[in-house]
Chains A and B, each alone.
Chain A
Amino acid sequence: MKKLKIRAINKYKSYVLECENKIYYFTLEFYDMPEPKIGDILLFDEEYLNTSSPDFVQSLYFEPLDEKKAKEIRKFDIAGLQTKDKNYLLRRIYG
């Protein structure tokens, strides 16, 4: 899992993320949960950052995941969000 700090968000939900002194740009959507803020930390599989992969995607979508259901889904699809007030376990969704 990589930890990425949210450095900026523009009006089209384009996020600037910082991880280990590198900057990444993703469009992110979060369903059924509050929008993250600048300074929050995202955690997800490091393969998402592999920009040279033919399967690389710049738009990622997430929804909250019930911890009890975590075993049912691919480890690759489990993510997290750390905010000032709360930590969220997330599931990546597609489409």
Chain B
Amino acid sequence: MENNDLKYLKKHYGEKFAHLCRELFPTILEQEGLLSKIISDHFAPTRSLYEDILPIKNDFVEYIYDQAKLEAQPVTEVNLSPEELMEKAGYILYPECKTEDEIQSFRKYWASEEELCTFRGGRLELCRVWFALKKNVDEIKRENFTNPKRQDEYGTSAISIQFTKGNTNTLSIKNRYNHTVYAPDATFGNNLDNIIPGLTQSFVKTYGLNLVNEDMGGLYLDDYAMGDDGKFYRYNVEIEGVNYCENNYVLDFGRVVKLDNARYVLAENYVIDKQRKKIFRYPNDIDSFTKSIGEIKDITFKTDNEGNRVVVCTPKEGKVVEITLNNKNAIIGYKNPNVTEIKDDFLSDNRALKSLSLPNVVNIGDFFLYSNKGLTDLSLPNVIKIGDSFISSNNDIMSLNLPKLVSAGREFLSHNLSLEELNLQNLKIAGLNFLLCNRCISNATLPKLKSVGMNFLGMNLNLTSLSLPNLESAGEGFLQNNQILGKVYLPELKSVKACFLAYNKSMTSLQLPKLEEAGDFFLQLNSILKDVSLPKLKKAGDFFLHSNQNLTKLDLPNLVSLGMPSLDRSKLGCDTIYTQKNKQEREIEF
């Protein structure tokens, strides 16, 4: 007959896990109820536990056997108060400090150069504070201890016992030597039972403390977090200190919150309330994602062809909205035919979304799908304006359909590595770091582009020709790492910032008929550039045409202002430099 412990483990953690436990813990299984108690005390039910502990099987075995030893120790009920126990240990435990004055009253027991930073004030905002003094504290003099050790008679003659405030409390015992000794804030190993057995339990009972060691007890499990009940919970996603776990558990800064399975579905950090027909971001927030869905009339569920759960939201107005979840309740698909405007931070923490349908959205705010890594193609057929950091963590989008896009903010797809063709027929403005990391775009069609920010296509290595017939201004670093661009057509370009086309090794001639102003390092290190025509250039910055070794013709009839160093004639091949408005040949004053 199967052992009851194994039956329990099979039911809550899966058959494979139960079999593994039979193999690993035969002696523990001899004590009925022990193994199931240990596992259920330390691990919230999950069918993934078997796979997750396999890589650390030896640590897991050691951990379980340690827990079995602890279970075997007799528990002594402590009936004495902390004050009584401390008195037995030779201390006077003073009442909890409730005011700054009460804390300061203990300052005199510390040598002036060894004072606790507690005495600087403000500790009561973070901690509950007690002081304890040895009964003979006045006889224990600092000058008699010339070789300080943390646990010696002086170091432990005046201590402060402090617990952090909040849902869980951690302990620190401060030392009378303070920083003079090593680890003074861990006096007695931060274990009250090292002062006198039972003291921890007495403090916890008397003062209502929730002492949890946030150390995972020596067991490190990826994708698990420890709750304030001491259990490991497998989480699907962690966002800003909150772990969203399997089975509708949330660890809110460690505090275990269980959402009623009958009423709620947890989808990443969103809660779907089946009863009230609402979706909100945990704990109770409205954001751009929940707003995009609108007021909901009904919520139902279905399964798609791949076995994924789909949340079907029927809004009060408009067509059905669908949210697809994978088996970890991550949002992997979103279909919303109604929304036209999306505000900032739309699913900005989501990583897994791989399918997006927003056919009518026109305006998108900042940080749209900022963390996303799942999308490989993107089509937003009606979007006109996009804010900053648009899907900027994604590496893999290979196909982009934004036919009406006019304005893109900073960091637009800035980490994209996969796009090879860029076709944005209506784009006029591109912000800083536009497709910065992409190296492989070989074909760019941007016929209406007027203005680009810093680092436009800054890492691109693949463009051999570029036509931007309407571009008027370019920020710093325009295509600065591209070395193979042989032809550029920029007939309307009026101003460029620093490092314009720096390091190019493929252009032999460049005409910028309307350029009036050039920043520093303009065309620096262009190794084969021979012929440059800048008929309207008036002002250029430092290191203009620096290290251009092969120039034979340089046309600057309107140049009046040049930075430093000025053109180094010894580094130029050209004999002729046109510099005056009347186009007479004249040497520049160097």
Show the binding face of A for B, using Cβ within 8 Å: 7-8, 10, 12-14, 16, 21-23, 25, 27, 29, 31, 38, 51-52, 54-59, 61, 77, 93-95
Contacts and interface: CB of A to CB of B under 8 A. Distances in A.
Given A25-B214, A27-B126, A59 B186 contact: no
A25 to B, nearest CB: 5
Contact of A95 (B118, B216, B238, B242): B118
B183 A55 contact: yes
A5 B241 CA distance: 12
Given A12-B165, A57-B183, A94-B185, A25 B254 contact: yes
Contact of A23 (B172, B190, B218, B225): B225
B153 interface: no
A31 B120 contact: yes
Contact of A94 (B166, B184, B242): B184
A16 to B, nearest CB: 3
Contacts of A61: 117
A79 to B, nearest CB: 14
Contacts of A95: 115-119, 160, 174-175, 178-179, 184-185
A7 B241 contact: yes
A10 B222 CA distance: 24
Contacts of A22: 220
B253 interface: yes
Given A27-B170, A51-B216, A58 B179 contact: no
A94 B127 CA distance: 15
Contacts of B126: 12-13, 27, 29, 59
Interface of B: 115-120, 122, 125-127, 160, 162, 164-166, 170, 172, 174-175, 178-179, 182-186, 189-190, 214-216, 218, 220, 222, 225, 238, 240-242, 253-254
A8 B251 CA distance: 14
B117 A14 contact: no
Contacts of A14: 164, 166, 253
Of B125, B162, B172, B175, chain A has the most CB atoms within 10 Å of the CB of: B172
Given A14-B164, A14-B253, A55 B115 contact: no
Given A8-B241, A57-B190, A93 B117 contact: yes
Given A14-B166, A16-B240, A57-B172, 11 more contacts: A7-B240, A10-B241, A12-B164, A14-B253, A55-B182, A57-B190, A59-B127, A94-B117, A95-B115, A95-B119, A95-B179
A13 B124 CA distance: 12
6 contacts: A8-B240, A10-B166, A13-B126, A54-B189, A56-B190, A57-B183
A76 B520 CA distance: 44
B104 to A, nearest CB: 13
Contacts, number: 93
A54 B185 CA distance: 11
Contacts of B120: 31
Contacts of B253: 8, 10, 14, 16, 25
Contacts of A8: 240-242, 253
Given A13-B126, A51-B215, A93-B179, A58 B118 contact: no
The winner among B160, B164, B165, B185 for most chain A CB atoms within 10 A is B185
Nearest to A8: B241
Nearest to B179: A94
- Scoring A8, A31, A59, A93 by chain B CB atoms within 10 A of each residue's CB, the highest score goes to A59
Contact of B170 (A7, A38, A59): A59
A17 B186 CA distance: 21
Contacts of A16: 240-241, 253
Contacts of B218: 52
A40 B118 CA distance: 25
A28 B242 CA distance: 19
Nearest to A55: B183
A13 B253 CA distance: 12
Contacts of A51: 214-216
Contacts of B119: 95
A27 B185 CA distance: 13
Nearest to B150: A55
Nearest to B235: A23
A12 to B, nearest CB: 5
A57 B185 contact: yes
